[in-house]
C-alpha cells in the first residue's frame, strides 16, 4: 500500500480516487499493470501492435504469446484466461530478473519503388506467360 501511495505522489497531479489508488497498489514496484488492465490494453491496441505505446513491454509479449488473432476473435471468457496465463509467466520471469526487449517497431520504406517502363513490363509479362505456358 505504501508503494502505491509513493507512485500516486510521483504520477498523479491531484489526489487519486479509490479506483486509481487500487490500480497503483496493484502495479507493484516494477510498473506492471494488473492482469485485467493488461488484457484490455492488449485487446484495444491498434495494429501494427509493435508501434503502440505499451504501458509495459510485458503486455505486448503476453499478447503476442496469446496470439493477437485469438484475442481479437474470441470472447473475453475464453481469451482472458489464456492471456492471463501468459502474462503471469512473463511477470514471473521479470521478477526473476529477466529483461524484456521492447517491441521492434515497423518502419515504412524510405524510398518509393521506381515503376517499370512499358518495355520492362512487357518483358516481365512475357516471362510470366512463358512460365505459365499461356
- For 84-95, the pLDDT digits (tens) are 999 999 989 988
Q: What is the pLDDT of residue 113?
A: 76
pTM of the model: 0.61
Residue 11 has pLDDT above 90, yes or no: no
Q: What are the residue boundaries of the structural domains of the chain, listed by start? A: 1-31, 32-132
Dihedral sign for Cα atoms in the order 8, 93, 101, 99: positive
How far lies 118's CA from each of 101, 121, 123, 124, in Å? Answer: 46, 5, 9, 10
CA distance 61 to 41: 12
pLDDT digits (tens, 9 = 90+) for 98-131: 888 888 887 767 777 788 899 999 999 999 999 9
**21: confidence class by pLDDT, cuts 50, 70, 90:** confident
**83: confidence class by pLDDT, cuts 50, 70, 90:** very high
Q: What is the pLDDT of residue 19?
A: 79
pLDDT digits (tens, 9 = 90+) for 44-66: 999 999 999 998 999 999 999 99
Reference 11, options 45, 20, 76; nearest CA is 20
Amino acid at each position: 500500500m505504501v508503494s502505491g501511495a509513493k507512485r500516486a505522489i510521483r504520477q498523479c497531479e491531484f489526489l487519486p480516487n479509490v479506483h486509481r489508488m487500487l490500480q497503483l497498489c496493484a502495479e507493484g514496484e516494477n510498473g506492471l499493470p494488473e492482469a485485467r488492465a493488461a488484457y484490455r490494453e492488449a485487446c484495444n491496441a491498434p495494429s501494427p501492435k509493435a508501434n503502440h505505446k505499451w504501458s509495459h513491454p510485458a503486455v505486448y509479449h503476453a499478447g503476442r504469446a496469446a496470439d493477437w488473432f485469438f484475442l481479437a476473435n474470441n470472447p473475453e471468457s475464453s481469451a482472458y484466461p489464456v492471456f492471463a496465463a501468459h502474462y503471469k509467466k512473463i511477470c514471473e520471469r521479470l521478477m526473476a530478473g529477466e529483461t524484456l526487449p521492447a517491441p521492434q517497431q515497423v518502419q515504412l520504406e524510405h524510398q518509393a519503388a521506381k515503376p517499370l517502363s512499358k518495355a520492362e513490363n512487357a518483358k516481365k509479362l512475357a516471362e510470366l506467360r512463358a512460365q505459365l505456358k499461356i
